[in-house]
Copies of this chain bind each other. A is one copy, B any other.
Amino acid sequence: MVLTDKHNHIIEIAEELFATKGYSGTSIRDIAKAANVNLAMVSYYFGSKEKLMETLFKERILLMQLKIETLLKNETISPFQKVEIMIDEYISKVLDKQAFYKIMLCEMAQRKNMVVVKFIREIKLNYANMMRGLVEEGQRKKIFKKHIDIMLLMNTMTGTVTQMIMNKEVYREFNSLKKISETEYDQRLKKILGDHLKKIFKTLLEYES
């Protein structure tokens, strides 16, 4: 299925609405109105609401994949530096596609659409396998500890980032950051999260020196 500009436009609108109102809470009429297209066009383009959701996931999944094959082979960078790069890349991706991440989170809880569940599984395994590659390299070089629970580590990363995005308002209020703009806050968040997660990963991965 080749996606035109119109396809992508509808997908983007749907993404925003699904994130804020949920999949079931968003009607095709909502999407059509917000996207400024005729009601029938959504079914015409995607077949059904369900298929629209699946297409959305199929599209976004590509953007979400961590691509660090070349990074893995690079011998001039230390294993932990690679981990740091991976963390930064992950944070950037999520901050860039916050709406999609919210949808993914809800769909993870409510395993209703099996196609979607499969996609999420795919992302999770991609992350974990990527991480496994990095960890094993560090272990071979005797820099990283043995017996690392890779997926637990990944879940600390994804969970922390997710919670910080979901709890923006409370965080900003708790830390008196109400004044700064959303984009400036996101910029700060990137740094805060990066530093925080790198510190955690360092202590859990590297041998004490």
Contact = CB atoms under 8 A, between A and B. Distances in A.
Contacts of A160: 152, 155-156, 159-160
A82 to B, nearest CB: 21
A175 B174 CA distance: 38
Contact of A155 (B105, B106, B111, B164): B164
Interface in A131-178: 149-152, 155-156, 158-164, 166-167, 169-171, 174-175
A20 interface: yes
Contact of A112 (B21, B169, B175): B21
A20 B111 CA distance: 7
A158 B159 contact: yes
Contacts of A181: none
Contacts of A163: 155-156, 158-159, 162
Contacts of A149: 175, 192, 196
Chain copies in the assembly? 2
A13 interface: no
Per DSSP, are chain A's interface residues mostly helix, strand or loop, or mixed?
Answer: helix
A124 interface: yes
Q: How many of chain A's residues touch chain B, expressed as a range?
A: 35 or more
Nearest to A193: B152
Nearest to A161: B159
A203 interface: yes
Contacts of A109: 19-20, 102-103, 105-106, 166
Contact of A22 (B23, B164, B196): B23
Interface of A: 19-25, 102-103, 105-106, 108-112, 121, 124-125, 128, 149-152, 155-156, 158-164, 166-167, 169-171, 174-175, 192-193, 196, 199-200, 203-204
14 contacts: A22-B24, A25-B110, A105-B106, A108-B166, A149-B175, A149-B192, A152-B192, A152-B193, A155-B164, A156-B196, A158-B159, A159-B164, A162-B163, A199-B204
